[in-house]
Structure 1
């Protein structure tokens, strides 16, 4: 057996079994075999046949599954936390498009993406779906850096052939050809980084380009990521651009971007209609809930309770730089907070999310996009975080209460002591 993928970790263990059930084990032994979860044993009950495996005792620290960021823009990381006084469409024109144009310069991309990947590696994120830009060389550079980081990610070369500035717009043929080039050059090149088709959103992609991408998806079985029903002005614009569509989601369904072998992730879904939700349910598409971004850009509050009640697939995204930071802990707590505001101010029939549900979205809910990811159930990929407090509380606390406190304190009182992705430890603090 490979030493690096076969080991035992001892500590307090917490993981989701289902959206409302958080299982906690006091001082348990977490067995990892071939990079997957083997079993959990009470301390002192590890079978003798595993006694020769390396064992790390983390004391009273808490072991939880890694977190999956279902929606993040790598080229926007450089201006995170700025320009937050604008709504979505103005924010794109003023902040995002001028910044993303800089990635035609590989030297700029090298510096910017180095910062992004280094900080993502140090975060609680173990897997992510990442938007790049329209530029093939810079997108391949980002994929290379992410692959070297040890994280498992999907990265998309962005497609844009209308309603974009001249310096960041392709023709339909250029977009199709450059996407084919990017896929060919990335094929078989990376071990942990994979391509995902990425039409930015319907306003920036013509019907013809969407059809080309749908054909490409069907031929290669690729997943898709994009934006959907984020902002009221965006919705009105899509209705004007695509009067044939009964709902915004139809602009992705008709060209074949929701169905087929590769799954789709649609970010935001703040204003999804019943027709649109039916499309997402039937296609098995995922919703990436981005609460901090939706607040910063004044988009609104997605009714996540309604989506969970309909058994839709939902995870969380930081949506940097609409979101101001990479913290999935913050995304988790923000999801709870905005659900309370929506319940109190807008619709008291939709009860707020509880901690267990938001934790599930950050781990098993979003992780399921990658397969058996985001839990410590047997056979799941061994994505593991070890969390510790900067000091012990003077209060007596149960494991669940300590976990909730560590999540809410985040950078203020929580330390990421160790991180594993598919059984491989990530060297935190490495240059």
Structure 2
């Protein structure tokens, strides 16, 4: 029983997307990081084990950010008047070039990973840059802070400035080096990361797909974010029926677990390809608004059985906080609901996307129930709120107006992370 631990508080999570599950004054019993019991009174067999009692605080799952660009973190809140392709050329590529310097990369990435943890993101899928050395720095910063991650060296060998692209074979060699070095890490692992189809040659896409399948590695990229981007893909790859088919034709679309960010303008065929494959769409509402891409019909995707998670998509998204992404997903769906009332997401659906769907990409995470990993946040809100509002209302308040000061504790795999 030495490896068994118990925490106590008001437990709130989503077992299904349609509603919150609430256990007042509940106990979570974990062993070696895995939850073995959740109950409203502690069974006798656990008596004698020290209980960490969080009193009237909420215990909720941690957040999982399925799409963001660590290499753009300093750029957050900059160039927000630009559309996507201009924004990349005018701001992004120059910053990413500088992150090839390992000293600078460590400075930037340490801030990025610390802030993920600070605001309650306990797992993140991150694009680094095309620099192998810089990407290695990002892996090390994830390891240092102790949260979960999938980290990708960005593969791009065309249609971008010369100072940021690499010849396809060199790019693949760097990726292979990182895969071999980090493939057995328990918390942070490699992910194959073609930036997006237009910045990859056919040769690069083919080799990346072969590497993903041969090594059982997940894939992350972008799909149908912007109308100009979609037209560019059509011009570059006329032999493919649609944007998704460019990836699918190169074993990069569901042959292994796949994250595709955005999906704002999917065709009917692409929706079916996502639904039938091992593909997660990642909704990034802040980014879609900021770079004027549009609003994805997320509720429709959920109703059709697609797996949809949430991403901050920094720096297209201007804030790293996933509670903000949850709120913005609901808000942007309300805009669509002006004309289509059934387009509106509920808060529980958006929360489910950020916890259960996101956690599912990492493994058994995102729910506070038996056989899930104990990845959790303890939310200690204002006594005035505690006096007046229900547990569900208090969670809603945290999601809408809370920040890191409301998070009293963070657990990853049952381990209490040290503050700061």
**TM-score, normalized by the shorter chain, greater than 0.5:** yes
Q: Residue 9 of structure 2 aligns with which residue? A: 11
Residue aligning to 1:33:
31
Please say if residues 182 and 188 of structure 2, whose CA atoms lie closer than 8 Å, have aligned partners that are also in contact. no
Equivalent of 1:286 in 277, 280, 284: 280
Where does 1:8-87 land on structure 2 (aligned, <5 Å)?
8-42=6-40, 45-87=41-83
Q: Note if 1:317 corresponds to 2:311.
A: yes
Structure-to-structure mapping, 1:156-305, within 5 angstroms: 156-188=152-184, 190-260=185-255, 262-305=256-299
The answer to whether the 8 Å contact 2:297/2:343 transfers is no
> CA deviation digits over 1:218-258, x for unaligned, max 9?
11010000000000110110010011111110010000111
Does the alignment pair 1:105 with 2:105? no
Deviations 1:262-309 (A, max 9, x none): 300000111111111111112120011100111111111000011101
Taking structure 2 as the reference length, the TM-score comes to 0.97
Matched, 1:93 2:84: no
Matches within 5 A, 1:346-425: 347-348=339-340, 350-393=342-385, 396-411=388-403, 415-425=406-416
C-alpha separation between the residues in 2 aligned to 1:269 and 1:404?
Answer: 27
- By how many angstroms is 1:349 displaced? 5.3
Asked if the contact 2:57–2:379 (Cα under 8 Å) also holds between the matched residues in 1, the reply is yes
Aligned-partner Cα distance in 2 for 1:265–1:53: 41
The CA deviation at 1:183 is 1.9
User: Does the residue aligned with 1:334 lie in a helix, a strand or coil?
Assistant: helix
1:330 to 2:321 alignment: no
Aligned-partner SS, 1:104:
coil
Alignment match, 1:141: 137
Tell whether the 8 Å contact from 1:70 to 1:366 is kept in structure 2 after alignment: yes
CA distance in 2, matches of 1:110, 1:398: 43
> Are the counterparts in 2 of residues 2 and 34 from structure 1 also a CA contact under 8 Å?
no
Counterparts of 1:70 and 1:269, CA distance in 2: 14
SS of the residue corresponding to residue 406 of structure 2 reads strand
- Distance in 1 between the 2:385 and 2:99 partners? 46
Offset from partner CA, 1:392-414 (integer Å, 9 cap, x none): 238622111111111111229x6
CA distance in 1, matches of 2:173, 2:343: 47
Please give the alpha-carbon distance, in whole angstroms, between the structure 2 residues aligned to 1:117 and 1:237.
Answer: 33
Distance 2:50 2:407 in 1: 21
Superposed CA deviations along residues 52-107 of structure 1, whole A, max 9, x for unmatched, are 22211111110001111000111111121111110100001111100000012111
- What is the CA distance between 1:390 and its match in structure 2? 3.4
The structural deviation recorded for 1:2 is: 4.8
- Conserved? CA contact 1:388–1:406, under 8 Å: no
2:116 and 2:320 in contact (8 A); partners too: yes
The 2-side partners of 1:114 and 1:17 are apart by 33
Secondary structure, aligned partner of 2:151 = strand
What TM-score do the two structures reach when normalised by structure 1? 0.95
Q: Report the Cα distance in structure 2 between the residues aligned to 1:96 and 1:2, rounded to whole angstroms.
A: 49
- Is 1:426–2:417 an aligned residue pair? yes
Check conservation: 2:119, 2:403, Cα contact below 8 A. Answer: no
Q: Cα offset for 1:22?
A: 1.0
What runs of 5+ residues in structure 1 fail to find an aligned partner?
Answer: none
